[in-house]
């Protein structure tokens, strides 16, 4: 396989080397049919001004999708990325919306905060469910009124910010539990993207593996080995609970421990037994969802007899 598998080039950013993001967050492939569908949905949402909520498992590449939305939106301002789980509960208001000069001891100058820094651009809030409820209320007001009031300021400041938020949890359940603001949830739902887990985008696995292999080979000044057919099979059958983050680590490890011009299954440090179980599970699901009525009935009876259902 090449770096432009099936005519779908990897998306890389011109300033990739200057970016603080990991290698994982500098490439995006749209090879698998589910990824191609996602790309169509993304390109339809990008030019619009509405907020976007990206839902996907940890390590699946939600920030990369958010950056792609920003680039495709033609917004001239900055892309500002904030991990909501890292915001201080004590200073969340000031961190997000900024503060006026003299608001805190030693604060001789004012700060725009993350929201102000994204003025004219895109504010990406990762794991938005971790925001304290009072801040969620202020966030919704800022989005609806297009203005923020900095801590210690007397007057609000106008802002033009597009919000792209991400979550690895079901926010509807958080709303039902009283842990997430219902109106903010409905505001975010206007634009939604579901990022499938890597195990559900099997067609992307080898393209991503080759990308990571090429980048790490270049960085470590090593020859680029081939991924053997047996190793390709193991990669495609693995369940990838850690998504692209896990794949990056596996390929990095394999490059360092391989001795020839090929990466073999033993270099991947992945158990073949779980891979086999994943394959069996996939086949069972296909029968249960797409098999004939007689096949489904026979399988259900078999599972029942085995005390599995």
**From CA 15, how far away is CA 9, in angstroms rounded?**
17
Q: Where are the domains of the chain?
A: 33-194, 274-305
Q: What's the chain look like in SS3? A: CCCCHHHCCCECCCCHHHCCCCHHHHCECCCCHHHHHHHHHHHHHCCCCCCEEEECCCCCCHHHHHHHHHHHHCCCCCEEEEEHHHCCCCCHHHHHHCECCCCCCCCCCCECHHHHHCCCCEEEEECHHHCCHHHHHHHHHHHHHCEECCECCCCCEECCCEEEEEECCCHHHHHHCCCCCHHHHHHHCCCEEECCCHHHCHHHHHHHHHHHHHHHHHHCCCCCCEECHHHHHHHHHCCCCCHHHHHHHHHHHHHHHCCCCEECHHHCCCCHHHHHHHHHHHHHHHHHHHCCHHHHHHHHHHHHHCCCC
Q: What is the pLDDT of residues 144-178, one digit of tens each?
A: 999 988 888 888 889 999 999 999 999 999 999 99
**Does the pLDDT at position 19 exceed 60?**
no
Task: Look at 163-167, 246-250, 267-271, 304-308 and tell me which has the smallest mean pLDDT.
Answer: 304-308
**Does the pLDDT at position 221 exceed 60?**
yes
Task: Look at 133-142, 148-157, 299-308 and tell me which has the smallest mean pLDDT.
Answer: 299-308
Task: Look at 95-104, 109-118, 119-128, 241-250 and tell me which has the smallest mean pLDDT.
Answer: 95-104
Q: What is the mean pLDDT of residues 182-192?
A: 94
pLDDT for residue 273 = 41
Question: Which percentage of the chain shows pLDDT scores above 90?
Answer: 59
User: What are the tokens at 106?
Assistant: 């030693």
Kindly indicate whether the domain formed by 33-194 is annotated with CATH number 3.90.79.10.
Answer: no
């Amino acid at each position: 396989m090449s770096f432009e598998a099936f005519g779908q080039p990897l998306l890389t950013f011109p300033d990739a080397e200057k970016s603080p993001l990991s290698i994982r967050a500098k490439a995006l492939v749209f090879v698998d049919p589910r990824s191609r569908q996602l790309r169509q949905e993304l390109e339809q949402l990008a030019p619009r001004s509405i907020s976007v909520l990206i839902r996907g498992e940890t390590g699946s590449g939600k920030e990369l999708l958010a950056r792609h939305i920003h680039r495709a939106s033609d917004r001239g301002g900055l892309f500002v990325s904030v991990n909501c789980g890292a915001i201080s509960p004590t200073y969340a208001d000031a961190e997000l919306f900024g503060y006026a000069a003299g608001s805190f001891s030693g604060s001789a100058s004012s700060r725009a905060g993350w929201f102000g820094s994204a003025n004219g651009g895109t504010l990406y809030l990762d794991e938005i469910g971790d925001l304290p409820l009072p801040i969620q209320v202020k966030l919704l007001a800022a989005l609806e009124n297009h203005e923020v009031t900095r801590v210690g300021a007397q007057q609000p400041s106008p802002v033009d910010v597009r919000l792209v938020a991400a979550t690895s949890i079901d926010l509807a359940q958080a709303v039902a539990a009283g842990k997430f603001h219902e109106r903010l949830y409905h505001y975010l739902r206007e634009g939604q993207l579901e990022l499938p887990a890597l195990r559900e985008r099997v067609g992307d696995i080898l393209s991503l593996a080759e990308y990571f292999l090429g980048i790490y080979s270049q960085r470590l000044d090593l020859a680029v080995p081939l991924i053997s057919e047996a190793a390709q099979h193991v990669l495609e059958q693995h369940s990838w609970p850690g998504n692209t983050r896990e794949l990056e680590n596996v390929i990095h490890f394999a490059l360092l421990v391989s001795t020839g011009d090929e990466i073999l299954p033993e270099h991947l440090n992945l158990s073949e037994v779980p891979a086999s179980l994943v394959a069996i599970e996939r086949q069972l699901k296909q029968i249960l969802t797409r098999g004939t009525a007689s096949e489904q009935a026979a399988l259900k009876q078999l599972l029942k007899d085995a005390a599995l259902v």
